[in-house]
Amino acid sequence: MPEQVTFSTRLIAWQKRAGRHDLPWQKTRDPYRIWLSEIMLQQTQVTTVIPYYARFLVSFPDLAALAAAPVERVIEHWAGLGYYARARNLHRCARQLVAVNAANWPKNEEALGELPGIGPSTAAAIAAFAFGRRAAILDGNVKRVLCRHFAIDEFPGKTAVDRKLWALARGLLPATDIEAYTQGLMDLGATLCTRSRPNCLHCPLAETCIARQQGRQAEFPVAKARVTIPERRSTFILISDGRRILLERRPPSGLWGGLLVPPEGETNQVLARLGLTLQNAQALPPLRHAFTHFRLTLEPVLCRVDESTQLGEAGIEWVDLAQAADAGVPAPIRKLLMRVASAAD
């Protein structure tokens, strides 16, 4: 198939010459490190992932260490990366591999794809990079490359279009150099064939790219029909005794599951529930935060309470104000806590 030879051989040659070769999870066959990087890279950019990846490995250097840790500690190391179901599934997967597989990794994409939190594309990446298996990936970057190159004129999220893209991805697989080819697809989508301003001048596939030939790069991938994004508002009570701030751990599932956040709800009700006596309260400027499926406006209220206050409710804890922003809290809550800490200085 000439198209396959052109596409794969050009991509492999480009990756070996100009692709990324110094990422911290490269130059290893360790499936644990490859798996961790692939999960972190889901919907998160490389520059954001690198410091999290390094810190995570210090605390959880191998599968056994991750499986033995409490899930709350794992989630705290994930704080700020978002999409926290990834951290919970990471922990579940580690425990399952240790308990059921005696820490032995499956080596093919089908078996890998049955593990918690590992979808078909992630399974294929692990199979290719850790075990040299001939498996096709199809993450967001790869979909963009294929949609442009072959001018796929429909929204890639449609079931029929998704099947077409998977067939293309599998049909383009080279017989050899699967690691360079797979990394090349990732590198191309991340560095040249980007969402906006694609750098077609340096693209190894420019000669055969239909979108480029037609001058329609900006039209692919076809966008999903616009829908109204729901808006939500919620009040968060920042309770402080001047030195510390009160945080409570969210339930293990749901929004910000397992992370520490200030109590949520009406001021009087929260204080009454916790048995706290208010000295004074101050409404702080609201903070907007966008999630995948909705936008949240956080309405913080800073409440000062007596320093001698004792707490008896489980899941509630005092955290030193200067350290609260690093205590395993989600990104928008970190911003609120930094405001409070800065005002207290």
Backbone angles phi, psi at 331, to 5 degrees: -55, -50
**CA–CA distance, 61 with 55 (Å, rounded to integer):** 10
Backbone angles phi, psi at 305, to 5 degrees: -125, 170
Q: What is the DSSP annotation of 82-99?
A: --THHHHHHHHHHHHHHH
The answer to whether the CB of 336 falls within 8 A of the CB of 262 is yes
- Exposure string (b/e) for 94-120, b if CB count within 10 Å is 16 or more? bbebbeeeeeebbeebeebbebebbeb
CA angle at 141 for the pair 171 and 54, rounded to the nearest 5°? 120
Helix (H) or strand (E) holding 2: helix 2-18
Considering only CA atoms, give the Rg of the chain.
Answer: 24
Backbone angles phi, psi at 118, to 5 degrees: -110, 110
| Burial tier of 270 (Cβ tally within 10 Å: 0-12, 13-18, 19+) | buried
DSSP state of 190: I
Q: How many CA atoms lie within 13 A of 227 on its CB side?
A: 7
List the catalytic residue out of 3, 38, 207, 264. Answer: 38
Q: For this structure, is 38 an active site residue?
A: yes
Backbone angles phi, psi at 314, to 5 degrees: -65, 145
Catalytic residue numbers? 38
